[in-house]
Each structure stands twice: as C-alpha cells, then as structure tokens.
Amino acid sequence: MAVILIGTSACKKNNAQPDTKPPLYGDWKELNLNAGLERIVSFGSNDSFKLTVVNSTVPSIVISTYTGTYIVKNDNVEVKVNQEVVTKDKVVISTTAVNSSLFDKGTYKVENNVLTLKYITYPADAPVNTEATFKRFIE
C-alpha cells in the first residue's frame, strides 16, 4: 500500500502559477535626456506606477514623483496618476492629489532590456506623436 501512495504522489502535477508580469514590469531609466535631467519610470506589482523626475540643472536638486496605476492590454499601456510629490534638497515642498493620464494612446515594446514607449503629447498647437526610450534600471 505504501508503494502505491508514493507512486501516486510522485505523479502529482505542479500547480505553480506561471509568471504573468508584463514585459515592462520593473524600473526603467530614460535615455537621451538633456544633461541634469533624469526620468525613471517604475511599473510595479499590483499595477502600481511611479515616475520620478530629477532636475539637477538648478542650484537645488528638485525631484518630482508621480504615483498611480497602470493597465496593460496587449502592447497598449494606460497610466493614471493620482499624486504628485515635489522635494527640493530632500525636503518635501508639496504633495498634490491629481487626476491625470500619462502616455496617451500609449503602446510599448521591450527588446534587449530597452523599453520604447510611443504616445501622444499635447503641446500648444496640436497633438504630437512622441517616443521615449528607457533602459532597464539595475542598481
């Protein structure tokens, strides 16, 4: 009887869930920005999103952090931002509730640890197709 139990337990299927994280999951640092500017986007677990913009072109370092959520459908990504926190020289100077979208009509592609986002921006005159490239951020 013991042999039968061992034999059936050895045939037990592995019920581990497959990794369902989207390819853009993780932290990404934008390439080709002007000196003194840095943008890092983070697509986290539980659909959490964070964009950190560091501006060290001014005498004080100003960091703006935007947090919210994201949704991925095929190669489309939608980002909703609900808070902005601004710090200057490591001191929080403002925390603001916001209700805005980033990467309007955004699509993404990940290849060789490079994330390419294509989306529409709205400068003063007319909508503009915009592309941003990020390298996977590994500390």
pLDDT digits (tens, 9 = 90+) for 19-58: 678 889 999 999 999 888 999 999 998 899 999 999 988 7
C-alpha–C-alpha distance, residues 15 and 126, integer Å? 52
Enumerate the domain spans of the chain. Answer: 23-136
- pLDDT confidence of residue 139: 57
| Candidates 2.40.128, 3.40.50, 1.10.3470, 2.30.29; CATH matching 23-136 | 2.40.128
Mean of the per-residue pLDDT values of the chain = 87
* Site of tokens 């710090």: 87
Say which residues have a Cβ less than 8 Å from residue 117's Cβ, sequence separation at least 6. 77, 103, 106, 107, 108, 131, 132, 133, 134
How far separated are the first and last CA of the chain, in Å rounded?
54
Which of the residue ranges 11-25, 54-68, 82-96 would you say has the lowest mean pLDDT? 11-25
Q: Select from 20, 26, 52, 27 the least CA-distant residue to 39.
A: 52
Written as six digits, the tokens of 5 are 């139990």
* pLDDT tier for residue 111 given thresholds of 50, 70 and 90: very high
